[in-house]
Chain A
Amino acid sequence: MNDRLRNTLFGFAAALLAGGLVAAFTSLPTFGRQSGAYRALVLESMEPMRHAQQAVAAVTFDYRGFDTLAEEFILFAAVAGGLLLLRRQEDEETREPTDQAPDRAGIEAAPAVLGLGVVMFPFTLLLGIYVVLHGHLTPGGGFQGGVLVATAFYYVYLSGEYGDLLKIKRDHLASHLEAAGAMSYAIIGAIPLLSGYHYMRNLFPLGVSGELLSTGSLPLLNTAVGIEVASAFVLLIAAFLRQVLVIRREKKS
């Protein structure tokens, strides 16, 4: 198929799709006037039934907790696949990163860049942990906070200390934490089965609305997801970095 035929075919198909979508959207309720049944149901029931104040977290980890389990394992599978592809292949070898231009002076990170990394690392880490732990009270949660925690380690890379990230490889703590985070979500969901309830039923004490330890299993699930997401993103950056710096194609000699 040549480019021209492909583009013509795509033009027709895209115009058809766009027309169909516009026609479908015109029969949706007017923008801003929607009244989905679940919106009212969740907003009315979350405080009396779950002592929850943050509806998005309540939906993610309670009303739709089982779907989030599946989404969490999509993330796990995608990261596992990515790490599998970024391993050293059989025709490659690993070498310590070497200076490619020894005749030139080494590029040292400027003190300002290094200082910024030193300052930003603890604060980003702290902010990430805060967002994970308060996910059921304020905007945030395991998914967002996990990415923030991982961002702290990206500052290590940005400030030029990427040698530290190269130490993250097989059997590093981060890979165990990732698996433990994914597993503990499934296990927390399975605890109610022991008492004869259905999977993911929120059996933990609901506590006082608005306090850190409230809404039953929500903080636990948030923490499990936060640990998994954070270590997944740290593992990914370490794997891409190894790919660039350490893994070399073997010389065919």
Chain B
Amino acid sequence: MNALPFLVVVWLLVVGLYGIATCRNSIYLVSALVVAQSSGYLLLLSVGYVNKGTAPITGDIPGTRIMVDPVVQALTLTDIVVGATVSALLLALALQRHKRSGTLDPKSEPPMRG
């Protein structure tokens, strides 16, 4: 059971990469990228977890409780928001490409214009 979080991390990463390698639609490609990215969040949070740990907030929680690692949580939270805007950028790219070439297939020839 202890290896389960790490196995899920590997599974999410490989499934996301499979989606990126085989998809025929740029919008699916962005979704697959988000799946692969989420494996990173899970890895970070599993590395920082401590058995029976609670949220690292000392205000209302008695100081005797064990707390999980706040460093990896900070890394994850900034990346979730930044990742959302990067997805928006990629979707804008897909949209412009569809307007130029009429296709969303990432395997077709990219549109060229002088």
Interface residues of A (CB under 8 A from B): 3, 6-7, 10, 14, 17-18, 21-22, 25-26, 28, 30-36, 38-39, 42-43, 46-47, 53-60, 63-64, 68, 71, 74-75, 78-79, 81-82, 85-86, 89, 137-139, 141, 143-144, 146-147, 210, 229, 232-233, 236, 239-240, 243, 249
Contact = CB atoms under 8 A, between A and B. Distances in A.
A130 to B, nearest CB: 16
Contacts of A137: 59
Contacts, number: 164
A10 B85 CA distance: 28
A62 B93 CA distance: 35
Contacts of A31: 2-6, 46, 49
Contacts of A22: 6-7, 10
A214 to B, nearest CB: 11
Say what secondary structure dominates the interface of chain B. helix
Interface residues of B, number: 49
A58 B70 contact: yes
B107 to A, nearest CB: 8
3 interchain residue pairs of minimum CB distance: A55-B70, A55-B56, A32-B51
A110 to B, nearest CB: 29
A143 B77 contact: yes
Given A28-B47, A139-B57, A78 B89 contact: yes
